[in-house]
Amino acid sequence: MLPLISREELRKGIDAGTLVVVDTMPAAYYEKEHLPGAVNIPGFPYEQAAEFTDRHAPDVLPDKTAEIVVYCANVPCRNSELVGARLLRLGYSNVRKYREGIEDWVGAGLATTSG
């Protein structure tokens, strides 16, 4: 299991620009709504998560030492765990997971972006 990050710590990191946030939802969901500044690496369908990560990570995550936070919809969603684990296998050294996902973020009244 990936190390976790709290909503408050994530919010502070986004505000400070010290984190690279990765939305692991399918592209259509990402386009509709994502955390501010997030990039997209789809982790669904699950059997394609490794392939999508291998394909997209070099472009959207060029720095393997960056502080990376992956997230998906909510606690039961597996996308972020699959993408995060694959990032670690690809040599990314600082990957954490926002386990509660975008549902928690929105439920706290925090801003999202689209497009």
Q: Where are the beta strands (DSSP E) in 6-115?
A: 20-23, 39-40, 68-71, 95-98
The three-class DSSP label of residue 44 is: coil
- pTM, to two decimals: 0.97
The reply to whether 1 falls in a domain is: no
**Whole domain around residue 58: which residue ranges?**
7-103
Whether pLDDT at 1 is above 90: no
The reply to whether 35 falls in a domain is: yes
Closest by Cα among 43, 94, 41 to 64: 94
pLDDT, tens only, 24-79: 999 999 999 999 999 999 999 999 999 999 999 999 999 999 999 999 999 999 99
Residues, the chain, total? Answer: 115
pLDDT, tens only, 103-115: 999 999 999 999 8
Count of the separate structural domains present in the chain: 1
The reply to whether 108 falls in a domain is: no
Distance CA 82, CA 61 (A): 16
CATH assignment at residue 26: 3.40.250.10
